[in-house]
Chains A and B, each alone.
Chain A
Amino acid sequence: MSAMEQVKFFLTRNLRQSGIYIAFAAIIALFAILTDGKLLSEQNVTNIVVQNSYILILAIGMVIVIIGGHIDLSVGSVVAFTGAIAGVVTVRMGLPWWIGVLAALLVGVLVGIWQGFWVAFVGIPAFIVTLAGMLIFRGAAMITLGNTQISPFPQEFRSIASGYMNGYLGGQGYDVFTLVIGTIAVLAFAFFQYRARLGRIAYKQSVEALPLFILKIVVVGIVVMAFAQRLAFYKGLPVVLLILGLLIVIYVMLMKRTVFGRHVYAIGGNLHAATLSGIKVKWVNFWIFINMGVLSALAGVVFTARLNLANPKAGTMFELDAIAAAFIGGAAVTGGIGTVVGAIVGGLIMGVMNNGMSLMGVGIDYQQAIKGLVLLLAVAFDVWNKRRVGAAK
Chain B
Amino acid sequence: MNDFILEMRGITKTFPGVKALQDVNLKVHRGEIHAICGENGAGKSTLMKVLSGVYPHGTYDGDIILDGEVVEFNDIKSSEERGIVIIHQELALSPFLSIAENIFLGNEIKKAGMIDWNATNAEAAKLMARVGLDENPVTRVVDIGVGKQQLIEIAKALSKRVKILILDEPTAALNDEDSAHLLDLLRHLKGQGITSIMISHKLNEIAAIADTTTVIRDGLVIEALDMEKDEVTEERIIRAMVGRDLENRYPEHTPTIGEEIFRVENWNAFHPLQPDRQIVKDAHFHLRRGEIVGLAGLMGAGRTELAMSLFGRSYGKDISGKVFKNGTEISTRTVSEAIRNGIAYATEDRKTYGLNLIEDVKRNVSAAALNKISQRGWVNENEEVQVAEEYRKSLNIRTPSVAALTGQLSGGNQQKVVLSKWVFADPDILILDEPTRGIDVGAKYEIYTIIQRLADEGKAILMISSELPEILGMCDRIYTLAEGRITGEVDRADANQELLMQYMTKEEE
Interface of A toward B, CB cutoff 8 Å: 199-200, 202-203, 205, 257-260, 262-263, 265-266, 269-270, 272-280, 332, 336-337, 391-393
Going nearest first, the 5 A-B pairs with the smallest beta carbon separation are A269-B356, A203-B382, A278-B336, A277-B368, A278-B339
- Residue on B with the closest CB to A275? B335
A259 and B368 CA atoms in complex are apart in Å by 11
| Contact in complex: B371, A392 (CB < 8 Å) | no
Q: When the two chains form the complex, which single residue of B353, B359, B370 contacts A276, counting CB atoms closer than 8 Å?
A: B353
Q: List the A side residues contacting B386 at CB < 8 Å.
A: 203
* Known interface pairs A265-B359, A266-B359, A270-B355; A276-B379 also in contact (CB < 8 Å): no
How distant is the Cα of A276 from the Cα of B356 in the complex, in angstroms? Answer: 11
- B353, A202: Cβ atoms closer than 8 Å: no
Report chain A residues within 8 Å CB of B355: 270, 273
Contacting residues, chain B, for A258 (C-beta < 8 A): 374, 377-379
Q: Which residues of B contact A273 (CB under 8 A)?
A: 352-356, 367
CB of A269 within 8 A of CB of B382, answer no
Other contacts beyond A259-B374, A270-B358: 4, CB < 8 A: A199-B382, A258-B378, A278-B368, A279-B335
Instruction: Tell which of B16, B338, B370 touches A262, judged by Cβ atoms closer than 8 Å.
Output: B370
Query: Could you name 30 residue pairs across A and B whose Cβ atoms are closer than 8 Å?
Result: A200-B382, A205-B382, A258-B374, A258-B378, A259-B374, A259-B379, A260-B377, A263-B370, A265-B356, A266-B359, A269-B357, A270-B352, A270-B357, A272-B352, A273-B355, A274-B356, A274-B367, A276-B311, A276-B312, A276-B335, A276-B353, A277-B335, A277-B421, A278-B336, A279-B335, A280-B336, A336-B359, A391-B16, A392-B15, A392-B17
B198 to chain A, nearest CB (A): 26
Per-position 1/0 for B311-324, Cβ under 8 A of A: 11010000000000
When distances are taken between beta carbons in the complex, the residues of chain A under 8 Å from B345 are 276
Residues of B within 8 A of A (CB): 15-17, 311-312, 314, 334-336, 338-339, 345, 347, 352-359, 363, 366-368, 370-371, 374, 377-379, 381-383, 385-386, 408, 421
In the complex, the answer to whether B336 meets A266 with C-beta atoms within 8 Å is no
Q: Nearest Cβ distance between residue B295 and chain A, in whole angstroms? A: 18
Nearest Cβ on chain A to B410's Cβ, whole angstroms: 10
Complexed CA–CA distance, A392 and B15 (Å):
7
Contacts of A270 in B (CB 8 A): 352, 355-358
Give the Cβ gap from A332 to chain B, nearest Cβ, in Å. 7
B353 touches A205 (CB 8 A): no
CB distance from A339 to the nearest CB of B (A): 14
- Assuming A273-B353, A276-B347, is B358 touching A337 (CB within 8 A)? yes
| Cβ–Cβ < 8 Å partners of A336 in chain B | 356, 358-359
Bound-complex Cα distance A80 to B35 (A): 66
Q: Are B385's CB and A205's CB within 8 A? A: yes
Rounded to whole Å, the gap between the CB of B452 and the closest CB of chain A is 24
Cα distance, A57 to B355, chains bound together (Å): 32
Q: How far is the CB of B378 from chain A (nearest CB, A)?
A: 6
Specify which chain B residues have a CB less than 8 angstroms from the CB of A275 in the assembled complex: 314, 335
List residues of chain A with CB within 8 A of the CB of B368: 277-278
Shortest beta-carbon distance from A155 to chain B in Å: 39
**Chain B min CB distance to A288 (Å):** 16
Residues of chain B within 8 A of A279, CB atoms compared = 335-336, 367
Give the distance in Å from the alpha carbon of A199 to the alpha carbon of B378 in the complex.
15
Query: Across the two chains, which residue of chain A brings its CB closest to B339?
Result: A278
CB-CB under 8 A from B15, the residues of chain A are 391-393
Known: A203-B382, A391-B16. Is A262-B354 also a contact (CB below 8 A)?
A: no
Instruction: From known contacts A273-B356, A276-B311, A276-B314, infer whether A257 and B335 are also in contact, taking CB-CB under 8 Å.
Output: no
Specify which chain B residues have a CB less than 8 angstroms from the CB of A203 in the assembled complex: 382-383, 385-386
Chain A proximity of B278: nearest CB distance (Å): 23
Q: What residues on A are CB-neighbors of B367 within 8 Å?
A: 262, 266, 273-274, 277, 279
